[in-house]
Amino acid sequence: MLIDNHNRVINYLRLSVTDNCNMRCQYCMPEDGVIFSTSKELLSWEEMFLLATAFIELGIKKIRITGGEPFVRKGLMDFLHRLATVDGLEDISITTNATLIGEHIDALKKLNILNINVSMDSLDKARFNAITRRDYFDVVLKNVHQLLQNGFNVKINCVVMGGQNTDDIIPFINFANDYNVDVRFLEEMPFNGHSKGFDGLEWDYVKIMGLIQSQFPGIRRMQSAPSSTSENYTIENRKGSFGIIPSFSRTFCGTCNRVRVSAKGELQTCLYTNESVSFKKLLSENPDTALIKPFIYAAIQSRFKNGFEAEEKTAFKKSMSLIGG
């Protein structure tokens, strides 16, 4: 079991497989001038597999594949096939913008990779396309429906932004009821790679909840896993559920069970820090999990207590696409 220096069990790895993306969400990266890593800078699939295996041997039980957009990198499905065979790994899940997942639905089902989080910030086509700066609304909605029809456990992630998509909050609650899905509202974080300014958070979890409560009586809090980042709720006589993730308010750090690895092999032990430990060189020189594990272990022993301490010491100021959310 992997336990950090604040006595938190670490059993969840968010693994970014690319920093490249086919969208340009305003809250994540600028429209132009984004320089993505070259394939030489990225971990090869072999290196990534080795690193993931080292984490699993140390006690990681769940891996979430993220990015950038994971499905833009060629070879992802082969990697997942391999990852799914590793003993000790109990769950593989994916966070995706759902633009490219359609053709992989059958293969994912066969691999039993059924937990898919889809980023969708609006149910209004014009608003969705304005936020993502691309024209993929129809294909995303189609793929969400296809995932649901195929029995996937789909969660919709919506980043709430004042002046942009707060009119979508109630339609998303209705969407959750209509399709019996979970919708999660995320507080916006200041990790947009200088895509836009960020003058503090207008729509925090209290304000989001206030709006939902004003429209729906009978909201009930659900029991969530202790390490859950979202507070989850059902509404009386309605299907589906909704959650709020206080990613900017950071109320969940005390039970944080996760670490992150970037596509370049940098281990980041808090989302709010700029500090990381690079495994790229080590992996190319020592392709052996036994040699890598002590470095992972050491990094886990020097985690920040919470995101505020991390931000105060070495604030992360880049794009979320580099670390995967």
**Residues interacting with ligand SAM, by CB under 6 A?**
21, 27-28, 66-67, 69, 95-97, 119, 157, 159, 186, 188-189, 191-192, 247, 320-321, 324-325
- Pair of tokens at residue 140: 């995303």
Closest CA to 93 of 122, 115, 76: 115
> Which H helix or E strand runs over 178?
helix 169-179
- What is the nearest approach in angstroms of ligand SF4 to the Cβ of residue 263? 11
Closest CA to 289 of 3, 105, 50: 50
How far is the C-alpha of 314 from the C-alpha of 307, rounded, in Å? 10
Partner whose binding site includes residue 66, from ligand SAM, ligand SF4, none (CB under 5 to 8 Å by kind): ligand SAM
Q: Is 21 in the site for ligand SF4 (CB under 6 A)?
A: yes
Closest CA to 263 of 284, 280, 277, 285: 280
* Binding span for ligand SF4 by CB under 6 A among 18-26, 173-181, 253-261, 301-309: 18-26
Q: Is 259 in the site for ligand SF4 (CB under 6 A)?
A: no
**283-310 in b/e burial notation, b at 16+ Cβ within 10 A?**
beeeeebeebbebbeebbeebbebbeeb
Q: Of the candidates 15, 17, 29, 323, which one interacts with ligand SF4 according to CB under 6 A?
A: 29
Q: Of the candidates 190, 212, 321, 323, which one interacts with ligand SF4 according to CB under 6 A?
A: 321
Q: Is 67 in the site for ligand SF4 (CB under 6 A)?
A: yes
How far is the C-alpha of 144 from the C-alpha of 152, rounded, in Å? 9
3-state secondary structure of 94: strand
- What is the nearest approach in angstroms of ligand SF4 to the Cβ of residue 246? 18
Q: Closest CB to ligand SAM among 306 and 321? A: 321
How far is the C-alpha of 296 from the C-alpha of 157, rounded, in Å? 30
* Binding span for ligand SF4 by CB under 6 A among 25-33, 203-211, 212-220, 307-315: 25-33
Q: Closest CB to ligand SF4 among 263 and 320? A: 320
* Binding span for ligand SF4 by CB under 6 A among 20-28, 204-212, 218-226, 250-258: 20-28
DSSP type of residue 29 = S
How far is the C-alpha of 222 from the C-alpha of 158, rounded, in Å? 19
Backbone CA torsion sign across 119, 124, 127, 133: positive
Asked if 267 and 302 count as a contact pair (C-beta separation under 8 A), the reply is no
* Binding span for ligand SF4 by CB under 6 A among 21-29, 78-86, 214-222, 252-260: 21-29
Partner whose binding site includes residue 24, from ligand SAM, ligand SF4, none (CB under 5 to 8 Å by kind): ligand SF4
Q: Which residues sit at the interface with ligand SF4, rule CB under 6 A? A: 21, 23-25, 28-29, 67-69, 97, 119, 320-321
